[in-house]
Every structure is written in C-alpha cells, then in structure tokens.
Amino acid sequence: MNKRIILVFIVVVFILWEASCSQAGSIWAKRDKDMKDLYADDIARNIGDILTIKITEDSKVDNKAKRDLKKETDRSSSFDGKLNIDHILPSIPGFTMNAETNNELTSKADYKDERSFVDRVTVVVVDVLPNRNLVVTGTRHRNIAGDIQTIEISGIVRPSDIAFDNTVKSEQVANFRIETKHNGVAAPYTRPGWLGRVFDILWPF
C-alpha cells in the first residue's frame, strides 16, 4: 500500500514537472520584450518618438495699390490804388493779381507672388508640454549629383491631429517653421551675382 502511494506521488510530481517545463517553453515566455505588441500603435506621444509631417504649402500674394492725389489753388487779389487817408497821401495806380497752383500725384503698384512646396519630412519629439502637445524638430539632407538641399523643420503638434499612420499635415502644426538651403552645383544659378547685388544696393528701384 505504501509502495502504491509512493508511486502515485512520484507520477504526480513528474506530471507537474513536465507541465511547468512545457509552459516555460511556450511562445509567450520566449517573446522578446523589444518586439512590438500585437495591438500596439506607433503614434508619437513621448520624447524621442518620431512622426512624419506632410508638407503642402501654397502661398499666393496679389497686392494692388492705386493712388490719385490732386490739389488746386486759385487766389485773386485786387487794389484800387487809393492810399489817401484824410487827403494826406496821394492815390497810386491800382492793380489786380491772380495766382493759380496745381499739384497732382498718380501712382500705381502691383505685386504678385505664387509659391508651392510639397514634401514629407520625419521629425523627432524633443519635448512634451504640460498640455501634452509635442514639440518636434527635424532635418533632412539630400545630395543628388552634387546638388545639396537641406530642409529644417520645427513646430508644435497636437496629439489629436496625428493620423492613424503617424502623420500630420503641415497646416496643423503650430509655430510651423521651415527653412530650405541649397548648395552645390545649382546654387550659383539660383541667386544673383556679386555685381548684380552691388547694383541692387546702389540702385534699389
């Protein structure tokens, strides 16, 4: 009887040991902690997270100014020549004087400017404000056949404006700042030379 109890005890211990070993070797125990969870998203929320800004900037300026100023003055003066006061001073010949002035100014100005910039730049969250808004900044460099383009972006993003694919439109970024710089082989052809700049200073009109 005692041998049977001891045998049953050994079998139970063996079964429990096998169960623990099989559970330790399951896929859940071997899951890497650095792997993304099945239901996790990639929305930027914390410092160091990244998101993509879809830049679609269209600016149109059409300023027109027209001014017409006109001033006319007509003055007339006449004198009959009588200077005698109590018949003491003699009379002199009379005269008539007319004065007429005319001042006219006409000016017209017309200024038009139209620009478009479309791109996608990924930025990094560098700070989180007390209201959970994200301060982002990012830089992109392109070097294509010696033509170097640098784009610098910064601004403040509201988390509710971030789309499900972790992107946000540039018009939804507060204090949005974008700066582009061009260097390389094409740069001398996109800006005036030194002689032209000197003439612009000496003769700006």
**Could you list the pLDDT tens digit for every one of the 205 residues in the chain?**
566 677 667 767 677 666 565 544 445 545 555 555 655 667 888 999 999 999 988 777 777 778 787 888 877 777 666 665 555 556 666 667 777 777 777 877 777 777 788 889 999 999 999 999 999 999 988 887 778 888 999 999 999 999 988 999 999 999 999 988 877 666 666 666 666 666 667 665 5
| Residue 68 main-chain phi, psi, to 5 deg | -125, 115
Q: Is residue 43 part of a domain?
A: no
- Based on the domain organization, do 178 and 81 belong to the same domain? no
Q: Under 8 Å CB-to-CB from 137, ≥6 apart: which residues?
A: 123, 124, 126, 152, 153, 154
- The CB density around residue 137, as the number of other CB atoms within 10 Å, is 14
Structurally, how many domains does the chain consist of?
2
- Mark whether 71 and 131 lie in a shared domain: no
Characterize the bridge pairing of strands 174-184 and 147-157: antiparallel
The identity of residue 96, as a single letter, is T
Task: Quote the CA–CA distance of 143 and 184 in Å, as a whole number.
Answer: 9
Structural domain that includes position 175: 50-62+116-188
The reply to whether 56 and 122 lie within a common domain is: yes
SS3 20: helix
| CA pair distance 50, 123, nearest whole angstrom | 6
Asked if residue 159 belongs to a domain, the reply is yes
- Considering the domain boundaries, does residue 19 fall inside one? no
Residue 38 lies in a domain: no
At 172, list the tokens.
């939804």
**Whether the Cβ atoms of residue 52 and residue 122 lie closer than 8 Å to each other:** yes
Distance between CA atoms of residues 128 and 107, nearest Å: 52
